[in-house]
Structure 1
Amino acid sequence: MNIDIENGTIVAIIRGISPSEVIDIQEALLEGGVKWVEVSLSDEEKGLECIQRLNQRFGEEIHLGVGTVTTLEQAKKAIAIGAKYIITPGWNKELAKEITKLNINILPGVFTPGEIMEALEFNIEIVKLFPANNIGPSYIKNLHGPFPNLKIMAVGGISLDNMREYYKAGCTLFGIGSELVPRGATRADKTQITNNAKKFISILNNEE
């Protein structure tokens, strides 16, 4: 499948958020210009309920995905309640094979050229490089030598201070966690989240 995503897209990672607060959190993100969201299943029950509520409230207004997916069962549950793409924490060839059969986009976590090569065998268009801050922008730049058309989602340690460097190195999109949406955030954090979103987007918009 093709995933229609613009260069320089911010994906908000929602983790540890109460389902009763998630609508307010997403409203704050939208006000700040962030439409892509990944709901982590690190707490599966809470994450799935967040996905369901977000899909019911926002529908096609947002690009709703599910992250920290480690089993096919989790993927199927999330798809059934509205997830439009699957993100895994690391590379699992068999899991990737089964998820691609579900006719949904998968952004698998990778760390090495070997894992990227295996992902490309499944016509996967975007990979999640995690943890990005343990590798650095130069590694990403070097990857585009053998993989010139590879789209990379940088996740892990991406901040207002370093995102510009990763963007220059060739990252297509960025998964931002607590620097954008603090873990355990509530509606009381809406203004902060909106301001965070505007700051991240501003960095990319001002990139030359």
Structure 2
Amino acid sequence: MYQAGIVAVIRGTSDENSYKTAKACIAGNVVGIELAFTSPDAEVTIRRLVHEYKDDTHVVIGAGTVLDSQTARIAILAGAQFIVSPSFSEETAKECNLYGVPYIPGCYSPTEVQDALTFGSDLIKIFPSSLVGSKYISEIHGPFPYVNVMPSGGITLDNIEEWFKNGAFVIGVGGNLVSPGKEEKYELVKKNAQCFSESVYKIKNTNY
């Protein structure tokens, strides 16, 4: 996920819509894919993508909006390589640990971050990141200097550099990347992905 730099958060209108949106992201070199379980048949889409890209080590397929351990298990059995939640759940963390699949919970306070780390999360999602701003990462690195952070929510091409400057490990991007997919404008999704991918490449090759 660190190499990917960006995780596309996809909330499709159907299995086929989610699948084609994910394919467009990957074609645009955004190879971290988070299929939200608010999408219809999300586990079907995950299974399709995992099978199709099983020989491509650069593509990482995971599940998002996982609210409980049962959903986490469904996603894992479908082949999800990581699990993302909007909040922290002890039971979901335990389920992911049982199967050896990374759990990325959404956290907002230092207490939530500490709880997530205690239950084995290697990567923490700061959500909604648009409410706290990019400097939140450098602040949270005060008491937790080694925590890997994935901001998600409100990330744009105009502010993405600030998030990396302040210590983001990887970035989660939703509507600003994939929203054209809901209107089946997959070429536009691909172009958005190319723009985000090129931006991250430049940022990662800049010494701050």
When normalised by structure 2's length, the TM-score is 0.89
2:27 maps to 1:28:
no
Please, which of 58, 73, 78 is the counterpart of residue 76 of structure 1? 73
What is the percent sequence identity of the aligned residues?
A: 32
Name the CA shift for 1:130/1:105 in 2 (closer, same or farther; >3 Å). same
Q: CA deviation at 1:123?
A: 2.7
What count of residue pairs does the alignment treat as equivalent? 202
> Could you tell me which of 112, 128, 131 is aligned with 2:128?
131
CA contact (8 A) 1:64 1:85 kept: yes
Measured after TM superposition, the shift of residue 127 of structure 1 is: 0.5
> Unaligned regions of 5+ residues in structure 1, if any?
none
1:53 maps to 48
> Which consecutive residues of structure 2, in runs of 5 or more, have no partner in the other structure?
none
CA distance in 2, matches of 1:6, 1:98: 23
Q: Aligned residue for 2:149?
A: 152
What SS does structure 2 have at the residue aligned with 1:97? helix
Q: Distance in 2 between matches of 1:101 and 1:161?
A: 39
Q: How far apart are residue 184 of structure 1 and its match?
A: 5.3
Q: Counterpart amino acid of 1:6?
A: Y
Q: CA deviation at 1:25?
A: 2.3
Using the TM superposition, give the Cα deviation of residue 52 of structure 1 relative to its aligned residue in structure 2, in angstroms. 2.0
Greater RCO, CA 8 A, separation 6+:
1
Instruction: Please report how far the alpha carbon of residue 8 of structure 1 lies from its aligned counterpart in structure 2 after TM superposition.
Output: 6.7
Distance 2:73 2:167 in 1: 32
Work out whether residues 8 and 172 of structure 1, in 8 Å CA contact, stay in contact via their aligned partners in 2: no
Correspondences of 1:1-208 after superposition (within 5 Å): 5-6=1-2, 9-43=5-39, 45-61=40-56, 62-182=59-179, 185=182, 188-207=184-203, 208=206
Give CA deviations for 1:119-145 in whole Å, capped at 9, x if unaligned: 111232100100001000111111111
Q: Distance in 2 between matches of 1:134 and 1:16?
A: 25
Q: TM-score, normalised by structure 1?
A: 0.89
Distance in 2 separating the partners of 1:103 and 1:159: 32
The alpha carbon displacement at 1:183 in A equals: 6.6
> CA 1:17–1:52 in 2, change beyond 3 Å: closer, same or farther?
farther
1: CA distance between counterparts of 2:23 and 2:89? 34
Contact 2:34 2:62 in 1 (8 A): yes
Counterpart contact for 1:51–1:83, Cα < 8 Å: yes
**Which secondary structure state, in structure 2, belongs to the residue aligned with residue 78 of structure 1?**
helix
RMSD: 1.8
Which AA in structure 1 matches 2:120?
N
